[in-house]
Amino acid sequence: MQSCLAGGTAFFSTNIDSSSFVMRLVDSGSADFELTEATIAQLQDGMKQGRFTARSIAEMYLGRIAGIDKQGPKINSIIELNPDALSIADKLDEERKAKGPRGPMHGIPVLLKDNIDTADRMMTTAGSLALEGSYALQDAFIARRLREAGAVILGKTNLSEWANFRSTHSTSGWSGRGGLTRNPYSLDRNPCGSSSGSGASIASNLCAVAIGTETDGSVVCPASTTGIVGIKPTVGLVSRAGIIPIAHSQDTAGPMARTVSDAAILLSALTGIDPRDAATQKSRGRIQTDYTRFLDPNGLKGMRIGIARKYFGYSDKVDKLIDDAIDVLKRSGAIIIDPVGLEAPKAYEATELEVLLYEFKADLNKYLAGLAPNIRVRSMKDVIEFNEKNRQREMPFFGQELMIQSQAKGPLSSPAYRKALQNNLLKSRTEGIDAVVIKHRLDAIVAPTGGPAWTTDLINGDHFTGSSSTPAAVAGYPAITVPAGFINGLPIGISFFGAAWTEPKLIKAAYAYEQATKHRRPPEFPDRIE
């Protein structure tokens, strides 16, 4: 596994004055880490009772990162730490004493994916060496919202470079700047992309919660393969301003957490109307200020749940696990409609890629043009040229075919782009999720999130074992994945997805299922599954 890091810098900056505290280096399999599986509510109660402070919580997680992520078993999920994290925590502790907490996120450490701008001493690079030295001129909207909520931005997570939209043969979890992130449930297996570092870090108890981003599968897939909860919101519920883009018709940021409750708290902190992202105007009147209102352990009673059988069949073991989950839904009072006719996305697979290629060029060029003047790359063309000149470091395992295809596309006024986008919306929305929801009067649709984590293969690239992320992704509709159990020690997730702006229903269903099953368990970091 050393060779996989030879292609990247594996940059890891702390710059934190470690003399001010004793780093609590924890053995990888240790059960005595004080914050193992700690929830936001438990951390808040600890601070209220005086057992913890924002600083002591941050210190404990920093020690855990040093011991687990960077020394052994070396998950390599964190690309950079915030050198100001402890001073921020100190100020929040002082504020708590003087005024009380701002809310449930006050003093809670959060990790952000390294494609989210933070106007501080951390870089934002999407894992690319081309953006080394890129310090954002202003916070992403969601970073600002987190600061306003009192969160401590602890650091940034590694990711699949350029959010996994560089090569047709990429390895998820690898970036030129960060190297390879490993799955904590089996170190030889893949954490899935592109929010691989966010998933692996939260699964490994390296922080309280994290933010991922998704264009198609990049929140729900890593959440599923690392045994945590991931919410992909409706496009427009969470601003994308200040996030390195792929495609504005599908991109969104979303919470990643160990529990549905924590994910709901985090989602509540992220939403808001943002003048820098026109899509958020559509969320006016639909935003909930507190998504924890929908955490009802009896929430499945009377809900109409459709089963998307077209997303079964790629693994007998996965099918059995999800059929067991469906039995839980029934016993919890849900009305099951099985199957519903949501077709697999053959009708828009090609046009989805076409839209992403067009929008990637337009959206990335706009982002790069707004960077600080010292940044060497100002366009996708510049990035492609940089990668070619630095091939040994940037492309030791896979190339940049998708970037080259994207660069060849014309403007967003092109008839081919408009036709492809129209087809996507027709097939995924009108004739897809909307049609099924209306026909069966559904509250949610259920399917396996994906298969077990595959063995990482830097030579041949990823080999996914099924996925149900595409309908909600292309439609721009919400989806939530929750742990559904394990296959040979590898986590499997179940997805709840539905019509636009139905996050409250999905959270209610996901929470009730989680409380009825409680499949979540922390990893033990084996080298491999025997």
Catalytic residues: 113, 194, 218
Structure tokens at 54: 């924002």
Distance CA 371, CA 98 (A): 38
Q: Is the peptide bond before 194 cis (omega within 30 degrees of 0)?
A: yes
- Please, is 379 exposed, middle or buried when counting C-beta atoms within 10 Å of its C-beta (0-12, 13-18, 19+)? middle
CA 320/CA 282 separation, integer angstroms? 39
Residue 17: CB atoms within 10 A of its CB come to 10
| Alpha-carbon radius of gyration of the chain | 21
The residue with tokens 């969601």 is 142
Maximum distance among all Cα pairs of the chain, rounded to whole angstroms: 63
Mention every residue, 6+ apart, whose C-beta is less than 8 A from residue 296: 508, 511, 512
**Cβ neighbourhood burial of 32 (10 Å; 0-12, 13-18, 19+):** exposed
Tokens for 39, please give them: 């929830």
- Beta pairing class for 174-175 and 490-497: unpaired
Q: How far apart are CA 58 and CA 14, in angstroms?
A: 13
Q: Which residues pair with 229 in a beta bridge?
A: 257
- Residue 189, beta-bridge partner list: 455
Distance CA 355, CA 412 (A): 9
**Residue 287 neighbours by CB under 8 Å, 6+ apart:** 237, 271, 272, 273
* DSSP letters spanning 364-395: HHHHHHTS-TT-S--SHHHHHHHHHHTHHHH-
Give the three-state DSSP class for 83: coil
DSSP string computed for 473-497? HHHT--EEEEEEEEETTEEEEEEEE
